[in-house]
Amino acid sequence: RKAQALYEEEQLQMKEEKKQEWIQTTNDDNENNNENNNENEQSSLNHNVFTHLSPMADTVSMVDVGSKVATRRIARARSIVVFPPEVMQAFQFVTNTGNSNNTTTDMIGPKGPIFATAKIAGIMGAKRTSELIPLCHPLPLEKVHIDIVLKDNKAIIECECRVTHKTGVEMEALQGATIAALTIYDMVKAVSHRVQIEKTELVIKSGGKRTITGPE
């Protein structure tokens, strides 16, 4: 009986040792899998890293463009303002023909010519883009031109920016068009708040890695 009891005790001990060995092996495998997954995630992150983010995406910085070659950069953006009927009825529309026989239409309100004011605001906004968009480089803009055309009940704004530099001017063009649209909204909101800024989009971009010849 003693021998039988000793044998059974040894068998239980062997089973317990095998159980503990299996648990340890499983834990080791899980740790290895986790390490591999972390390495894969890190590798994937490194391959898809943005140039303005650190590898772990925990800090931001301006892109270093020091090694790039300065080229002629051009960008044009468009924003559309949609007027409700009450705005179209409340303001006077004046058509002018310039020296080059170009015909332009402006909205005249109590504050003055709305489109002319919006053009000035858009130019000022484009020049100050780097002060508002934190990772934009300050650019010595060579040209900012804003055109506003009234088509039916829509004011179609286009802002074109040009510079010879190492980085593009699409943000300046987008901001110029946006600020012009917001200025129009501000000057007509006394009549109606149903004015809509329908969309703002990049129309043309050239001089960098990508060339855009129309809205994407």
Which amino acids are annotated catalytic?
186
- Residue 129 CA to residue 138 CA, distance in Å, equals 8
For helices 170-188 and 114-127, angle between their N-to-C axes, nearest 10 degrees? 150
Q: CA angle, 169 as apex, 166 and 172 as ends, to 5°?
A: 140
CA atoms within 13 A on the CB side of 203: 16
Where would I find the beta strands (DSSP E) of the chain? 71-82, 92-97, 103-109, 112-113, 143-151, 154-165, 196-206
DSSP 137: P
Alpha helical stretches, state H, 103-160: 114-127, 129-132
Determine how many CB atoms are found less than 10 A away from the CB of residue 147: 16
